[in-house]
Every structure is written in C-alpha cells, then in structure tokens.
Amino acid sequence: MDIRLLRSSDIPNVQLANLTNLPENYFLKYYLYHALSWPQLSYVAVDVSSLEYNASSNPYTSKPPKIVGYVLAKIDEDNNQTGHITSLSVMRTHRRLGLAEKLMRQSTRAMREYYNARDVSLHVRCSNQAAIGLYTERLGFAREKVESKYYADGEDAFSMKLDLVSAFKDEEKAAEGEGEKTDGVDEGGEVGEAGKKEEKKTVKVGRQLGVQSLVENVVQKPSQQVAGA
C-alpha cells in the first residue's frame, strides 16, 4: 500500500471511495478545489498490488490506481494558520493496516512545513469510537466542543484540534540540527484498534457550493452550508 500525495488523476477514484464509504459526498469540482488550492495536503493510500507495473500503452487495460484510502485536507480560508481535515476514509477491506494514521501524519506535516500552520481541526461523529481513538490517542488531538446536530442525519460531532507546533517540535529540531535530514515520523507501537470501523468523518462543506462560489465570493463561509446525506 503506497502512501503518496493525491494527484488530479486520482480524483475519480477518490470520489468513488468517498461515495462507497461515507454519507457526506462532493462533486468532482470540490476535490479539484482542494487539489488546486492546497496541493501539498491531500494524500491517498493506493493498493499497488493491483497496479500493473509494466503498464502498457493502453490506458483502458492498465488500470488506474486503486484508491483504498484518502485524506482530503485544506487550510482554513479565514485563518491561514489553521489546517482542516475535510474528509478521511479508508476502505473497510483495508482496515487495521494503520493507513488512516499514516495518511494523517503526512497531511499534518505538510500543513506545518508548507503553510506554517499552528494547528489542525476536524469533526468526528460522536458515535465513531474507532476514529475518536485514532485522533485522540494516537495522533494527540484534543476535544474542543460538541457541535450539536452537525451531521445531516442529526448526529452530533466532536470538534477536535491538534497543536501542530508541539506535535512536530522534535522533528523540526532534528531537522535543524542535521540540515535536511529529518527523523522518521513516530510510528512506534502496534496498530491500534483504529481500524475496527473505517474512519468516517467529514465536515459539512459545500454540497451546494460550486467552486465558483468559493472562488468568486471568498467571504462566503462554506462551513455554514448544510451538507451531508
């Protein structure tokens, strides 16, 4: 399973993964909006074993990468020091491999490195114990508050935040000391129970919004829109 940056050409398959797993869906343009606004932040997990490495010249027989997980992330439009996780999902067939955590680590580090973000926020269903465990125990997120009836089906969300400055303090120190060389991301320990149910979380963003509205009317707050199924 490769963990790598999301490319535009991945988007149809990322969209498929999203539609398969999650109730909160977006049209392709919204993924493009992420990929073209903050191209460093979104990552995919790819099942490379299904890829034919000796891909022929025929695009129809050399299959596109099989996306088994993704994290779609951005920088807050109102506060360029805060990152935000728009959507994160791992296919049920590929759980317990620690993919969600690995995706999150890459994405949050890029927020820190590229945008100098101080923290990152996300929303998670209050019932999603596995995801909450991943965020709080493994990644160090702290619960901020409960947002009542955040999801379209009436469920509440925890709003969570991670302090990126302290999360990457050691790594940055090491990088400073050794020039370009950086320590590996801490991935110690065993795979958590995080995979028990795939991480289902998305924020309510822009179901009704075309990117154009985000583009032309920057003042609009997409997070105020009602979304979800």
Partner 1 sequence: MLSRTSNRSSTKRVRPRSANVRIRTDRMSPGLKAADQILKKNPNHGDTEAMKALILNSLGQTEEAFALAKTALKDDMKSHVCWHVYGILWRSVKNNEEAIKAYRFALKLEPDSPQVLRDLALLQIQTRDYQGYIQSRNLMLQQRSSLRLNWTALAIAHHLAEDFKSAENVLNTYEGTLKHTPSKGDIEHAEAVLYKNMIIAESGDVQRALEHLDTIYQTSPDRTAVMELRAKYLLQLDKKEEAEKAYRALLDRNAEYRAYYEGLEKALGLDKSQKQELKELYASYANKNDRIDAARRIPLDFLEGEDFKEAADSYLRAKLHKGVPSTFNNVKSLYADASKLKTIEGLVEGYQSEGVANGDATGATTKKDSFHETTLYFLAQHYNYKLSRDLKKAMQYVDKLIELSPKTYDYHMTKARVLKHSGNISEASKAMSHARELDIKDRYINTKCAKYQLRNDENADALATMSKFTRNEVVGGTLGDLTDMQSLWYLTEDGEAYARRSEYGLALKRFHTVFDIFDVWQEDQFDFHSFSLRKGQIRAYVDTLRWEDRLRSHPFYKRIAVDAIKVYLALHDRPILSQETATNGVDPTDAKAIKKAKKEAERREREDAERREAERKAAAAKKANATADGETKKPDEDPNGKKLRETKEPLAVATRFLAPLLEFGAADLEVQHLGFEVYLRKGKFFLALKSLLAAFTIAPEDPTAHAQAVRFRQACKPLDENKAVLDLASSSLPAPFNDAKADLASHNEAFVKQHADSPRHVYNYARALKALDPSSSQGQKTILEVPDRCKDVNLAQGLEGIALLRELGSEKASIQAFAKKLQDKWPAATILEREASR
146 binds partner 1 (CB under 8 A): no
Q: Please, which of residues 7-26 interact with partner 1 by CB under 8 A? A: 7-9, 12, 15-16, 19-23, 25-26
27 binds partner 1 (CB under 8 A): yes
| Nearest to partner 1 of 85, 206 (CB atom) | 206
User: Quick one: which of 74, 85, 4 has its CA closest to 45?
Assistant: 4
CB 53, min distance to partner 1, A:
9
| Nearest to partner 1 of 161, 197 (CB atom) | 197
Query: Which one among 106, 107, 108, 202 touches partner 1, defined by CB under 8 A?
Result: 106
Query: Which one among 135, 190, 203, 219 touches partner 1, defined by CB under 8 A?
Result: 190
Q: φ, ψ for residue 67 (rounded to 5)?
A: -80, 120
CB 177, min distance to partner 1, A:
14
Strand partners, 90: 69
User: Which burial class, exposed, middle or buried, applies to 185 when counting CB atoms under 10 A from its CB (0-12, 13-18, 19+)?
Assistant: middle
Residue 61 CB neighbour total at 10 angstroms: 9
